[in-house]
Structure 1
Amino acid sequence: MDYGHPIRFGTFLAPVAADPQRPVRLAQLSEQLGYDLATFQDHPYQPAFLDTWTLMSYVAAATSTIEVAPNVLNLPMRPAPVTAQAAASLDLLSGGRFSLGLGAGGFWDAMEAMGAKRLTPGEAVDALAEGIELIRELWDTDSRVRVRGGVHYSVDGAKRGPAPAHRVPIWVGAYKPRMLRLTGRLADGWLPSLAYMKPGDLQAGNARIDDSATAAGRRPDEVVRLLNISGRESAEELTALALEDGMSTFIVGNDDPRLLESFAAEIIPQVRGVVASARSQRGTSAPGRPTAALTARRPGIAYDEIPSSLREGAVEPGDFEYRSVRSNYLRGGAPGLVLRPHTIAEVSDAVGFARNHADLPLGVRSGGHGISGRSTNDGGIVIDLRALADIEVLDEASRRVRIGPGARWTEVSRALEPHGWALSSGDHGGVGVGGLGTAGGVGFLGREHGLTIDRLVAADVVLADGSVVRASATENAELFWALRGAGGNVGIAVSLEFEAVPVRDIGWVQLAFDASDTAGFVRGFADAMRAAPRDVTLFVILAPSRSGQPPIAQVYGVVDSDDPDVILERLQPFAALAPLVGQSVQLASYADVMANASDAAHSGQGEPAFRSGLIGPIDDAAAEAIAALVRSRSSLWFQLRAVGGAIADVPSGDTAYAFRDAELSVTAIGRGSTFDRLWDQLAAHFDGLYLSFESRTDPALLVQAFPPATLARLREVKRQYDPEGLFRDNFAVGTATAAEDEAA
């Protein structure tokens, strides 16, 4: 029986304390010789041995590619909850290079002398089974179900996490029937030693594991078969063990570096070559996804038809990586499939696959921060562009740069900093280039240099039919027009070219005001912002009063100057708006300002509840409406962003982002009848809507986001480039008829 697993080789090293660096050197040699893993004995009661966990940690730091594992860990002496955290930590620190071999314990006199509770053989097996299930549960940080204790581990209410970097396999060292059945039911691998096996034991062990796996609803090939060997076996013996007995990982238990070298040079290539040839002749295929992963698949998706170019990186609901790609920054998602292309051609393949599933939701994700939440969905397909993240300077003289949609603005700002350049790019470094660079881009340099889309000069776009076209002022000009403000409707920008602007160190401003007179503060801020030179772009967050404290206005943003006197002069009108309760003004690079985002995977939950509007000069009525909303405490977060200055220099018809006369962008989070009523009163003062800050999906919002002429033009572009409406899940403009457009 050949289960089809990859043929791998490892070393089984003794953690001798007499020469503590010897096992480290042997692990490094194993890596140099091309072994796949280095494993270590674990006998905590043996004073002649190093502590295995400490040694594995040291070895992981002293190597870079080889996998590290205990062979096998004495679980009764290393309680499962602690082992779970330690294993996940070592996997994270090593970049996903850890595997966990476990045993039920055997030398009970020595173990009891070290403080372990003596268990009967049956209790030890039960404790190991409970420990394996508990370890996996503690690693499952995506679950919201409370951890429950068992017979051997009283852990009710234990906190989950951390999650490891990859799906850490759990192997079991097993020989007797109950342990073999446990292995088939729960483990990812069987790890016996050939020296302990009698003729027929491997076959009998495989049969018990296979029967147990089948009874548990698993395929037998979900259990990898590993084998500790002496290293003196011939290539023919090992080939037979692979092709006839299903063993696929051979671990050499010998500390002689000469034997390790000769084995790597002579035996490993022979075994791999013969097994590969035999499998080719037999038509043996590698095991597929585990049964549990297959049962998690969502209906309506032809998973078996995923293009070969995308199959390796595709993430399904049952995969370990799913937890890190299912959601975005604010919205919890449950897509049926996440495709992760690495090239433009693969993006075309992904679009083709999505086109064959046109009835399903389709999300396109660059950074995954977008507060509208449209880069994930429930049961549909997500095309994740994070791997397309190259940043390239095309021309120094014109400051022209090409950026992949998956790059994040903190990365872009760092790449441009050595050149003394920047691109106005929102206020959060974790935002992806593709989303912001095609929707608008209201950023800290906006009043001086315009929106992010105003610096876009060309883009390569994958269309709904999978073709790739170039869009610029002279190539597919209508597509380029639509791309700047409604890009999610017309295609996927897979490469964006911008002309950066020269930026020195800047004044990074953070001020806090007592905003008891909220309406007066809002009017004053709007007036001061309108009168300020264009090198000043400030935002304000208004927080309602709490516990008898006055409401606070947090003003933050940029003065584009490296002269402290100029910066302070620019801020004087703002400092006079209300009593200051906090202030910080410092010189910083633009890259430092944008370095405000974590690289941690997004883990949003629920649905975001953002509302958005664009407003011109704020009069008394609008200021009072804002104050009423803030005072009501029905809004958890309320923000004003300056959008005047250079943004208004661009004629409204030049881009799909049309409301160029607005002075402030308004954003709020809130739910409930009070919030809805007060927001509607405020919205009566709006003249436009920025869809990237809007989480509602009501099609009626389109007429607020695009003036009639703009919407009609967008629909004509939509008819030309996406007539079937593939890209419809990010505020689709639709393909209304000319008569309908005229009526609108």
Structure 2
Amino acid sequence: MPDYGHPLRFGSFITPTAASPQRPVELAVLSEKLGLDLATFQDHPYQPSFLDTWTLMSYAAARTERIQLSGNVLNLPLRQPAVLAKSVASLDLLSGGRVALGLGAGGFWDAIEAYGGTRLTPGESVDALAEALTIIRGVWDTADRSVLAVDGAHHRVRGAKRGPAPAHDVPIWLGALKPRMLRLIGRAGDGWLPSMAYLQPGDLARGMGVIDEAARDAGRDPAEIVRLLNVGPDTGADELVRLAVEDGVSTFIVVGDDEGGLRRFAALTGDVRERVAEARASSGVRERGRVRRTSALARRLPGIGYDDLPADLAERAVEPGDPAYARYTSSYLRGGAPGLVLRPRSVAEVRSAVAVARGHRELPLGVLSAGHGISGRSLNRGGLVIDVSALDSIEVLDPDTGRVRLGPGARWADVARVLAPHGLAISSGDYGGVGVGGLATAGGIGWFARSHGLTIDHVTAVEMVLADGRVVRADAEQETDLFWGMRGAGANFGIATSFEVTAARVGTIAFAQLAFDASDTAAFLERWGRELEAADRSVTGQVVLGARRDGARVAQAMLVVDSEDPDTVIARLQPIAEIAPLLEQQAVLTTYDQVMGLFSSDDPQRGRGEPHSHSGLADHLSPALAAEVADLLDAGTSYFFSIRAVGGAVADVASAATAYAGRNAAFSLSGFGTGPAFDAAWERLVPHLSGSYLSFETGTGPLWLERAFPPAHLARLRELKRRYDPTGLFRDNFFVDPTVDAVEGPAA
């Protein structure tokens, strides 16, 4: 039989004994400490002396960090397939992609029937397993927007909703001996998991042949199917090497619950790996990483070196044919279809991803943290995406000073939740689902803008990977020019891998929601602007306007008051509440993390098209600007228009201190619209604006850069681009072209 070239892996096979319930968990933890790759557990639900295997796996996942977990094998007749699919996906998400699904068709039918299962013939049990595979994979296939319907003889779902998708492409390994089951593995399985103790001489080779033939008949590469084997604790290195080189087994799982046996088995693994590597080198067998299905390979795009990825990235890379690809076909607002997604988990892997990007310089390059950005450049079509969402750490370094370290993939709702017990908060936009990376490099206009400034005003250091692969730290003492540029135009200079930020002391706050009759829109906006500018700087908020209904227009306002005293809150909100007739009002005392949790979605996969939005900064809501906004809304060219308050603490920072320049603005305006009429209407606003906040802008090209950055800022950014990214590797998010000279002028 061939050596399929799969990487060697080693694991343990643990009995879920209830007599000493912590013992199986301790053996899983030991397996990880010994360097084994997976811990697997027997599953006999009808056995009174056994723990429930799925509960045990979940507990073991919480006690371990790296090792993969699987049933060996799960008893399908007592597990409903759709619910099992959801359980697997849930644990895979909770464990960071560490679950495999080992399944068995049944056996011990008297016990199964006693527990409420249905007795099946051998043929029926294979049919039932095939139906279950269809249902399980259907539940995981969130790319398919249809409801799931499978009308099987043994398992059925009728109009089921799909999801959640697992964190990774969960392999399904089947325990089997008979030809019909082996053929099912060849057609639809990801691995064969027999036990050596039940195999007769020649069974292993015959089984491999049956699987390979069935795979080829189904249009599959037999190497898509991993060959695993449960072996006894006395199996020596010579036998393991022979099984790998001659029979194609690549994953060896030692049976037994003896700690000494586990240690002896683990001690063999280094020698076995080395000898198999030597045998493969002499015979010309190339070690494969992950082997994708033929159907997935057919969806690869030309010009991308899929097979040349570094080993540290290849296992988790996502291609158009992979189950995990659905996550990257949409962000919060925008659709996408990248050719390759890299998912680094460490700074070293980010460096590797940047090297891949350098090797594909001709492709669009997106960097994704949470996928919310309105500007939408984190996804692309046909290009490369580097997803840093796994770098999601949130560390409170010093609760007394408020110093924290954040990974770019953390979401601001989670940051707020972790900081809340310490009485800390970071002003961080107004939507909790936003990722740290995008906001902390662009600006960060949030609920505390007037009281605490922008998010970037509290960033004290950024660690990042540059275009040439160097890892640098930029702060007030080192790489100071880069530190300046990262606070407002950071997407141009590299990939941030962590931020150090000083959080503010924040306790109980007030959150108010007001609905106004804004039918006289221009007058409403003038008064809104006047009262917000006059308000105590503890008050920050925004107002959202849309189309008229039955001739009337409603303005929805949301405000935060950084105070816990009800009388103070009422006094500071009262002048705002009086600017127009109130239709609805609500105000509550709450905490910042609860407010961020109100505006946070765990599912960013909403957008499918191309959003069209424009953004501007205004020093004041002047009568002329208010009239133009009213005309724009009345013309129906914008269906969603928001005005966020800035000023206050934002203006305390000098314009020249950061790449973000719009410090004199009291308001940030953004609108969504369609077609040339919206563009033309927006242009009538431009003479009344003093800048632009690019995070809310979908326009591209030099014009938008010039509106966001005054000449002196833009000249400095271009000089920084020449120093840190002269070839323009990072060019797909408001590209500062290093080859263009800006006209010098005073900083705004």
What is the TM-score with the length of structure 2 in the denominator?
A: 0.83
Q: Quote how far apart the aligned CAs of 1:390 are.
A: 5.2
* Match among 5, 8, 23 for residue 6 of structure 1: 8
What residue ranges of structure 2 are gaps of 5+ in the alignment? none
| Cα offsets for 1:445-473 (capped at 9, x unmatched) | 22233333334455445443334555456
After the TM superposition, which residues 628-639 of structure 1 pair with which residues of structure 2 at under 5 Å, given as runs?
628-630=631-633, 635-639=638-642
The residue number in structure 2 matching 1:40 is 42
| Contact in 1 for aligned 2:96/2:167 (Cα 8 Å) | yes
Q: Give 1:372 deviation, angstroms.
A: 0.8
Contact 1:542 1:638 in 2 (8 A): yes
- Note if 1:664 corresponds to 2:662: no
Query: For residues 217 and 651 of structure 1, do their structure 2 counterparts lie closer, same or farther at Cα, with a shift above 3 Å needed?
Result: same
2:303 aligned to 300, 309, 312, which one? Answer: 300
Alignment CA distance shift 1:248-1:30 (3 Å): farther
Alignment of 1:108-187 (within 5 A): 125-144=126-145, 147=148, 149=150, 152=153, 155=157, 157-187=159-189
Alignment partners' CA distance in 2, 1:426 and 1:586 = 20
Q: For residues 94 and 389 of structure 1, what CA distance do their matches in structure 2 show?
A: 14
Please report how far the alpha carbon of residue 528 of structure 1 lies from its aligned counterpart in structure 2 after TM superposition: 0.5
Cα 1:232/1:533, change in 2 over 3 Å? closer
Structure 1 residue 243, shift from structure 2 partner: 4.7
Question: Which of 576, 580, 586 in structure 2 is aligned with 1:578?
Answer: 580
**Secondary structure at the counterpart of residue 560 of structure 2:** strand
Equivalent residue letter for 1:570: R
Show the 5 A alignment for 1:326-725: 327-344=330-347, 346-389=349-392, 403-413=406-416, 421-469=424-472, 471=474, 478-544=481-547, 551-596=553-598, 598=600, 600=602, 602-606=604-608, 607-630=610-633, 635-672=638-675, 675-676=678-679, 678-683=681-686, 685-725=688-728
SS in 2 for 1:554: strand
Moved more, 587-596 or 109-118: 109-118
Q: Kindly report the root-mean-square deviation, in angstroms, between the aligned alpha carbons of the 2 structures.
A: 4.1
Query: 2: distance between equivalents of 1:344 and 1:238?
Result: 35
Paired with 2:438 and 2:344, the residues of 1 have a C-alpha distance of 17
Q: Which amino acid aligns with 1:281?
A: E
Structure 1 contact 218–291 (Cα < 8 Å) conserved: no
Distance, in Å, in 2 between the alignment partners of 1:270 and 1:499 is 47
SS at match of 1:583: strand
Task: Give the counterpart of 1:283 among 269, 280, 285.
Answer: 280
Q: Provide the secondary structure at the position in 2 that maps to 1:730.
A: coil
Deviations 1:177-201 (Å, cap 9, x if unpaired)? 3332221221112233445433222
Higher deviation after alignment, 27-36 or 291-300 = 27-36
- SS of 1:283's equivalent in the other structure is helix
Match of 2:53 in 1: 56
Q: CA deviation at 1:442?
A: 1.4
Instruction: State which drifts further: 411-420 or 685-694.
Output: 411-420
Inter-partner Cα distance in structure 2 for 1:93 and 1:483: 32
In the TM superposition, 1:234-249 aligns within 5 A as: 240-249=242-251
Aligned pair partner of 1:264 in 224, 239, 262: 262
**Structure 2: distance between partners of 1:230 and 1:396:** 52
- Alignment match of 1:222 (pick from 217, 221, 224): 224
Q: In the aligned structure 1, how far is the partner of 2:612 from the partner of 2:312?
A: 37
- Structure of greater Rg: 1
Secondary structure at the aligned position of 1:291 is classed as coil
Alpha carbons of structure 1 residues 543 and 70: separation in structure 2 relative to 1, 3 Å: farther
List per-residue Cα deviations over 1:504-560 (Å, max 9, x = no partner): 4433333333334333322221110121122222211224455x6954322223223
Question: Higher mean Cα deviation, 131-140 or 237-246?
Answer: 237-246
Query: What residue ranges of structure 1 are gaps of 5+ in the alignment?
Result: none
The DSSP-based 3-state class of the residue aligned with 1:437 is: helix
Alpha-carbon deviations, 1:286-345, whole Å to 9, x = none? 532223254443322233443455455544444454444565333232323333445545
Specify the code of the residue in structure 2 equivalent to 1:640. I
Larger displacement relative to structure 2 (289-298 or 732-741): 732-741
Residues 396, 227 of structure 1: CA spacing in aligned structure 2 closer, same or farther, 3 A cutoff? closer
> 1:640 is paired with a residue of what secondary structure?
strand
Structure 2 residue identity aligned to 1:220: P
Deviates more, 1:145-154 or 1:191-200: 145-154
Secondary structure of 1:622 counterpart: helix
CA-to-partner distance for each residue in 1:676-727, whole Å, 9 max, x for gaps? 5554554564332211101232443233223344434433443343332222
Shift of the alpha carbon at 1:583?
Answer: 3.1
TM-score (normalised: structure 1): 0.84
Question: How far did residue 137 of structure 1 move?
Answer: 2.3
Question: Is the aligned partner of 1:31 residue 2:28?
Answer: yes
Distance 1:615 1:55, change over 3 A: same
> Which range is displaced more, 346-355 or 395-404?
395-404
Residues 675/309 of structure 1: CA separation in 2 closer, same or farther (3 Å cut): same
Identity %: 50
Query: Which shows bigger deviation, 125-134 or 200-209?
Result: 125-134
Matched position secondary structure for 2:160: coil
Q: What amino acid maps onto 1:131 in structure 2?
A: A
8 Å CA contact retained: 1:462, 1:491: yes
Aligned residues: 725
Determine if contact 1:538/1:642 at 8 Å carries over to the other structure: yes
Cα offset, 1:642, TM superposition: 0.9
Structure 2 counterpart of 1:100, which letter? L
Deviation (angstroms), 1:91: 4.7
- Residue 729 of structure 1, CA deviation: 0.7
* Deviation per residue, 1:125-177 (Å, 9 max, x gap): 45543432332122111233564646646656432223234433222233333
Q: 1:338-383, CA deviations, whole angstroms, 9 ceiling, x for partnerless residues?
A: 3344554554443333223221111223443221111221222223
Select between 704-713 and 415-424 the one with higher mean Cα deviation. 415-424
Contact 2:443 2:487 survives alignment (8 Å): yes
**Which range moves more in the overlay, 408-417 or 551-560?**
408-417
Residues in 2 aligned to 1:88 and 1:183: alpha-carbon distance in whole angstroms: 21
Q: 1:567 to 1:183 in 2, by over 3 A?
A: same
Indicate if the aligned counterparts of 1:10 and 1:251 stay in contact, CA closer than 8 A. yes
The SS at the match of 1:692 is helix
Query: 2 CA distance for matches of 1:456 and 1:239?
Result: 54
Q: Label 1:98 to 1:50 Cα distance change in 2 as closer, same or farther (>3 A).
A: farther
Cα distance, 1:554–1:317 mapped onto 2, change above 3 Å = same
Q: 2:194·2:230 contact (CA, 8 Å) conserved in 1?
A: yes
Residue 437 (structure 1) shift: 2.5
Equivalent of residue 736 in structure 2, options 716, 726, 733: 733
Task: Answer whether contact 1:342 1:387 (CA < 8 A) is retained.
Answer: yes
State the one-letter code of the partner of 1:644.
G
Report the 3-state secondary structure (helix = DSSP H, G, I; strand = E; otherwise coil) of the residue aligned with 1:442: coil
Greater shift, 436-445 or 128-137, is seen at 128-137
Alignment partner of 1:21 is 2:18: yes
Q: Helix, strand or coil for the counterpart of 2:303?
A: coil
Give 1:562's aligned amino acid. Answer: E
Q: 1:114, 1:391 → 2: CA distance?
A: 45
Contact 1:365 1:382 (8 Å CA) reproduced: yes
